[in-house]
Chain A
Amino acid sequence: MTRTTAGMIMVLMFLTNASLLKAEEPLQVSPFPDRISIGTFYNGTRVSISGTLSAESDVIVRMTGESAPLRMKKKGKVFGLLWMNRDTVTFESVPKAFLLYTPQHFEDSFKTLQKDAPVRQLGLTALEEKITVSPDMGGGEALVKELLKLKEKEGIYAVSDTVHYTPLAEGRKQFEADITLPPKLSPGAYKVEAFMVQNGTIVASYDHSLTVALESFPKILSMLAFDHGAIYGILATLIAIVAGLITGVLFKGGKGAH
């Protein structure tokens, strides 16, 4: 056997092994975008995630933002009558977003699992336990529940059972889910993950970085407003004056609202 033939056999063996490995990969996820732009007409968007996994398993898809402390005001009564913002509280480890997608009826099997089962650590209940409140004035758990309620109302935190399956040959199935990005999503770094789950255990996982960034007009406007406040203010008034003059001329200097 010549050295060339031996080399070719080696390459062939490597390629065969590589293709076998790929076929056996328990969770395969189709290419997912790296970047989402918030442009002029952005009103939230949907990004589809899909892939294949073994037929006996389930998949959970999760999108989370960076965790950071969040300072907020606790509402309380003034003079026992009017509700207003009172004490400042700081929540630790609050992700910028938390969107969880499960298959239908997954919640039921979730409940039968032990509290410390790894799969349970993926959900909102586990996040609720992770977030701490300072200063500790009592009632921290209730406050965290209020925080999650607020985030859910804004669409920034959500749990939905909208992962769909399509059966495939050879003991595999296809999954698909639409990740709904809300209009209130702030720019920054996010992580999209998929977990293949079997009997309460995470068998395989996938993670992908996603950047959400302002683009075009919102980017220019935001840069002007936050980095050059005075120029932005002057421009805003000048544009308003010109717009007022034009509409005034068009309508022959009618009364403006004041």
Chain B
Amino acid sequence: MTLPWHLYLPIAGNSVNILLVFGMGGIVGLLSGIFGVGGGFLMTPLLIMMGIPPTVAAASDSNQIVGASTAGTIAHFRMGNVDIKMGLLLLVGGVVGGTGGVQLIKVLNRLGSADFLISVTYVLMLGFIGIYMFQESLQALRSRHKEPATASSSRPSAYARIVQALPGQMMFDKSGVRLSVLMPLVLGGFVGVLSAIMGVGGGFIMVPVMVYLLRMPMHVVVGTSLFQILFTCVNVTIMQAYSNHTVDFVLALILLLGSTIGAQFGVRISKKLKADQLKILLASLVLVVMVKMLVDLLLTPSILLAYIGGH
């Protein structure tokens, strides 16, 4: 085949089929648009399966997320859905966590364990999210004809009592919650570490964190999450480029174009389809990716050697 459909990626040290990468970005974007979840957690494993070294796949995906979350953040900001105070605190935590995560990857690269850590983190996170989503949508399908679940009891839980006892309480007007400054700082840091390790914006971890642990209203959650993810990924991309030289921005750009276009079609499709059934399908897809990665960890590898540092 003589058509120049292949592009050489000097950072990954290999060539890729442009249409394949663009199509992959498009499919992940389509799923993201249909289901309203981020596609980062699917993108990195797919890139690894394509032969991109895991460290390059994760770092380039962070770069892709920078572009993808820019448009979303601006749109939500215009609608007043961004809690800037909360976002900035999460961001400070995220920057510290992201920087720590990049340094962790650097140390593990030297030890040759970075790729293993990325794989294990993926298996755990995909497994957890896949099972959670599967159960949630199954329950939603079953309870369709039943009464909606009653609100939780008014007695504060042990978690709420601990949160209230923490020092540095502050009012977050936009979200309508009163919390310790430490909460967004620590939780932002936790998501930042995962972000650097997995090369994802952390949206699929950040959203449940904001809803269940920070008790923020849903419409503010999405905007604030995107705002925070944008900056976390800017930091992760610059740090990875500076410390590990693993960012391939050409790869990121092709993925970005594919995912943005795919997401637009996804949003249109989602309006015509039944949400719960689709959610179960997505959960199954997430679990399939997780099982594939788990099998790779469990079965004897075809070659018992690996390059140090993902190259």
Decide yes or no: A184 and B13 within 8 Å by CB, A229-B245, A244-B71, A258-B225 being known contacts.
Answer: yes
Pairwise interchain contact B29-A257, C-beta atoms closer than 8 A: yes
B40 to chain A, nearest CB (A): 7
B127 to chain A, nearest CB (A): 14
A14 to chain B, nearest CB (A): 48
Given contacts A39-B8, A244-B256, 9 further A-B contacts (CB under 8 A): A42-B8, A44-B15, A83-B298, A233-B239, A236-B247, A237-B237, A256-B67, A257-B28, A257-B68
Nearest to A248 among chain B residues (CB) is B71
Pairwise interchain contact B113-A258, C-beta atoms closer than 8 A: no
Within 8 A of A (CB), among B260-311: 260-264, 267, 297-308
Residues of A within 8 A of B299 (CB): 83
B201 contacts the other chain (CB 8 A): yes
Pairwise interchain contact B15-A71, C-beta atoms closer than 8 A: no
A130 contacts the other chain (CB 8 A): no
* Of the residues B63, B70, B240, B245, contact of A226 by C-beta under 8 Å: B245
Within 8 A of B (CB), among A147-196: 147, 149-150, 153, 183-184, 186
How far, in angstroms, from A226 to B203 measured CA to CA in the complex? 30
A40 contacts the other chain (CB 8 A): yes
- Contact segment of B31-39, B133-141, B152-160, B186-194: B31-39
A126 contacts the other chain (CB 8 A): no
Residues of B within 8 A of A214 (CB): 10
Pairwise interchain contact A236-B241, C-beta atoms closer than 8 A: yes
B44 contacts the other chain (CB 8 A): no
Q: Is the interface of B mostly helix, strand, loop or mixed?
A: helix
Decide yes or no: A243 and B245 within 8 Å by CB, A146-B303, A258-B203, A258-B229 being known contacts.
Answer: no
Nearest to B246 among chain A residues (CB) is A225
A-B contact pairs, 16 of them (CB 8 A): A40-B7, A41-B7, A41-B8, A73-B306, A83-B301, A146-B304, A184-B13, A236-B247, A237-B237, A240-B70, A248-B70, A248-B260, A251-B261, A254-B72, A257-B260, A258-B39
Residues of B within 8 A of A184 (CB): 13-14
Decide yes or no: A240 and B305 within 8 Å by CB, A39-B8, A253-B74, A256-B68 being known contacts.
Answer: no
Residues of A within 8 A of B250 (CB): 221
Within 8 A of A (CB), among B25-61: 28-29, 32-33, 36, 38-40
Pairwise interchain contact A230-B241, C-beta atoms closer than 8 A: yes
A222 contacts the other chain (CB 8 A): yes
How far, in angstroms, from A88 to B110 measured CA to CA in the complex? 10
B183 contacts the other chain (CB 8 A): no
Decide yes or no: A255 and B256 within 8 Å by CB, A244-B66, A248-B71 being known contacts.
Answer: no
Within 8 A of B (CB), among A180-232: 183-184, 186, 214, 218-219, 221-222, 225-226, 229-230, 232
Within 8 A of B (CB), among A13-62: 38-44
Pairwise interchain contact A247-B260, C-beta atoms closer than 8 A: yes
Most buried by A among B116, B225, B239, B302: B116
How far, in angstroms, from A77 to B264 measured CA to CA in the complex? 44
A143 contacts the other chain (CB 8 A): yes
A74 contacts the other chain (CB 8 A): yes
Residues of B within 8 A of A146 (CB): 303-305
B242 contacts the other chain (CB 8 A): yes
A8 contacts the other chain (CB 8 A): no
For chains A and B in complex, what number of residue pairs have CB atoms within 8 angstroms?
Answer: 222
Decide yes or no: A255 and B36 within 8 Å by CB, A143-B305, A225-B245, A232-B247 being known contacts.
Answer: yes
A12 contacts the other chain (CB 8 A): no
Pairwise interchain contact A254-B308, C-beta atoms closer than 8 A: no
Residues of A within 8 A of B305 (CB): 72-75, 89, 143, 146-147, 150
How far, in angstroms, from A247 to B305 measured CA to CA in the complex? 42
Pairwise interchain contact A236-B252, C-beta atoms closer than 8 A: yes
Nearest to A84 among chain B residues (CB) is B116
Residues of A within 8 A of B256 (CB): 240, 243-244, 247
* Of the residues A71, A153, A236, contact of B63 by C-beta under 8 Å: A236
Nearest to A187 among chain B residues (CB) is B10
How far, in angstroms, from A38 to B263 measured CA to CA in the complex? 34
* Of the residues A82, A149, A258, contact of B201 by C-beta under 8 Å: A258
Nearest to A229 among chain B residues (CB) is B242
Residues of A within 8 A of B238 (CB): 230, 233-234, 236-237
A156 to chain B, nearest CB (A): 11
Pairwise interchain contact A240-B66, C-beta atoms closer than 8 A: yes
Most buried by B among A153, A240, A245: A240
Nearest to B17 among chain A residues (CB) is A43
How far, in angstroms, from A39 to B116 measured CA to CA in the complex? 32
Residues of B within 8 A of A243 (CB): 67, 253, 256-257
